[in-house]
Structure formats: C-alpha cells, structure tokens
Homo-oligomer: A and B are copies of this chain.
Amino acid sequence: MRANLYAFMARTEISTLGEFGLIKHLTQGLHTVQPSTKKAVGDDCAVMDFGSKKVLMTTDMLLEGIHFNLEYVPLKYLGYKAAVVNFSDIYAMNGTPTQITVSLGISKRFSVEDIDALYAGIRLACERYGVDLVGGDTCASMTGLTISITCLGTAAAKDIVYRNGAKLNDLICVSGNLGTAYMGLQLLEREKLVAQADDKAQLQFEGKEYLLERQLKPEARRDILEALRKAGVRPTAMMDISDGLSSELLHICTQSQVGCCIYEDKLPIDYQAAALAEEMNLNIVTCVLNGGEDYELLFTCSLDDYEKLIPIDDLYIIGHITKPEHGCNLIGRNGEEITLKAQGWNAFS
C-alpha cells in the first residue's frame, strides 16, 4: 500500500540534526500570508496582531518517558509544571499569559482520579497566574501520557522583547539561580535507584527540599518582569532558560548577531545544588551552563540601566555583550576563556 513507498526513500536519522536542527530544517523557506502574523517561528512565542494589543502564542508538548517519569513526579505537580512552562514562554517575551488549551493523550493505565490530579495542578497554575483554561482535546493513547498545552498571551506592541535585540556592551542578566532543577532531577534519579535496590531504604531528601521543588514545581518569573517595569528597565533581548544557559545565550547571540562574555564567579548557584554536585562528583558550573528546566529569565539590557538593576532582588548580572567576532565565552575563575557550546538537552540523541 502507499505507505510502503517510504521504504525506498532515503533515510536520515533525526538524531543527526538534533531538535534545533530539525526545527530549522522543517521551517526553512516558511513564509506567512496573514496580515495579523507579526512573528512566526524563531522566538519563545509567535506574535499576532488582532487589534489593539498583540497576541502571543506558544506551545509545549510533554511525553511520558521523555520529559517526565511518573515514578517520582506526582501528577498534580506535572500538571502545574506543564502549564507554568508555557506561561514562562509568554513572560519571556514580556507578555502576560491569558488563555491555554490542554490536549491529553491518555493510556488505559490512567484512571479518572489520575487525570483529576493532573488537571488539579493545571487549574492551580491557571488560578495563580490568572490564566483561563479555554479548551482542549482529550483522547486515548496506546501507551503513556502525552500533554500538549498551547498558551496565548497579550502585550502592547512596544513592550514585546524578542531574542534578537541584544546590543554591543549590553549587560547580561539572569534571575534566580541555575542548574538547580537539574540537580533536583539528579537527586530524584539517585533516590529512585536506592528505592529500587531496597524498598525499606530511607530516602535522602532532607535538607534538599529546595532542589526537589525547583525540579517538580518550577515557577515562571512574573515577579522579575514586574520589578523591571517598576525600575523602568526594558530588556533589549530576553528568553527563558529551559534548555540551559549556554544554549539560550547562544540563541540570543546568534539572533542578535553579537558575541558575549560571562563570568564563572558571577553565575548564581544555590548552596544546596552546589553541595549535592560535590557529593555526586559533578561539576556544578557544567550543571549551571547545561542543565535545563530552571525557567529563570535570561535577558540583556543597556549598560545605562546598571544602577536600576542593583536593587532588584534575585537578579544577577553575569556578563556583557561583545562584538560577534569575539564569540561566546565563559571567563573562568582563573581568567581562562572557555567557548560556550549548546550542550543542552538533545532529545533525539
């Protein structure tokens, strides 16, 4: 039958392109025809103009066994996180999330109570962030749980911050701390193995609750955007950190056609994360650069805003934008220059 034709065609493994390579490949030559489309692929959100305000749109798919492991992620937390990561994409454009649709593919393994727990998390996130759940699709799946959420948001045209606006000498800032969600995942994985080996074993979460929280229940940094607005600072480029600092910084530099220089001793590292990395023999700086899922904000802003940034809580200046020919570098504690690479998470490898 017709589908068999594919057997005779060339076969390129998706892993040879990677996620970003595949997206680039699929979207090359794409053009838009709707006057309302202001920005299509290539940023945290698409941007549409339907009237007085711009409309932002973003979507995320989470698949069991790839993005989450229900052995240690309670479904309510999963629902909360699935919604919040979409809100984070809208905030990353300096917008306000307003509506989501939720599509679920559900295998027979899941009961109504399970889906209730998942939805309770989604609804809690919506409530906390003032977002409406306006629709979706619910269907059976052969195996596992699939969650696909699409989020709309709004912003005045002048407020939207893209990835391509970083300018020479701009400051590079991040919120919160980085690598923490990744260390939370390491902890969960370790304790899962302990529990598998001995179901009476005492699990070692004490004193590390913050790491679990960062992995299981991330928040979108709407507070940072409010603080920036109050301080009169408008970022020149911005995105949220979902795949790791290196990967995201390279996106901003590529799209803004600039280089960057960040400093190891300026990277915000949580104490618990550093202690666990030490305990597990991991390099915490590598975790900060490449660990994903922190959902903190990464942005650049004018050097003139320096004084306004200092009083803002939980905000860190980690470097500055350079000319493109200098590349993207981390300056180590001993002054050594290390080229940043997008080692972030490649789901296809």
Contacts and interface: CB of A to CB of B under 8 A. Distances in A.
Interface in A131-164: 131-144, 146, 148, 150, 152, 154
20 contacts: A1-B191, A3-B70, A5-B74, A22-B112, A26-B115, A26-B119, A27-B133, A36-B98, A41-B133, A41-B134, A50-B50, A50-B52, A55-B152, A57-B150, A61-B137, A63-B140, A65-B141, A65-B142, A66-B142, A101-B150
A192 B4 CA distance: 12
Interface in A9-29: 9-17, 19, 22-23, 25-27
Top-9 shortest CB links A-B = A51-B51, A46-B134, A148-B148, A150-B150, A140-B347, A61-B103, A12-B112, A65-B142, A51-B52
Interface string A57-68: 111110111110
A298 interface: no
Nearest to A72: B1
Given A3-B72, A34-B131, A134-B48, A17 B59 contact: no
Interface in A315-348: 347-348
A40 B132 contact: yes
Number of copies: 2
Contacts of A188: 1
A80 to B, nearest CB: 14
A188 B3 CA distance: 12
Contacts of A19: 138-139
Given A52-B50, A111-B13, A140-B347, A72 B2 contact: yes
Contacts of A15: 108
A14 B116 CA distance: 11
A104 B139 CA distance: 16
A243 to B, nearest CB: 12
Query: Interface centre among A30, A73, A114, A136, by most B CB within 10 Å?
Result: A136
Nearest to A55: B50
A109 to B, nearest CB: 10
Nearest to A131: B34
A115 B34 contact: no
Contacts of A61: 103-105, 137, 139, 146, 148
Contacts of A136: 23, 41, 59
Contact of A154 (B36, B104, B133): B36
A6 B117 contact: yes
Interface in A222-267: none
A150 B72 contact: no
B114 A6 contact: yes
A218 to B, nearest CB: 17
Contact of A59 (B48, B101, B203): B101
A279 interface: no
A34 to B, nearest CB: 5
A307 interface: no
A75 interface: yes
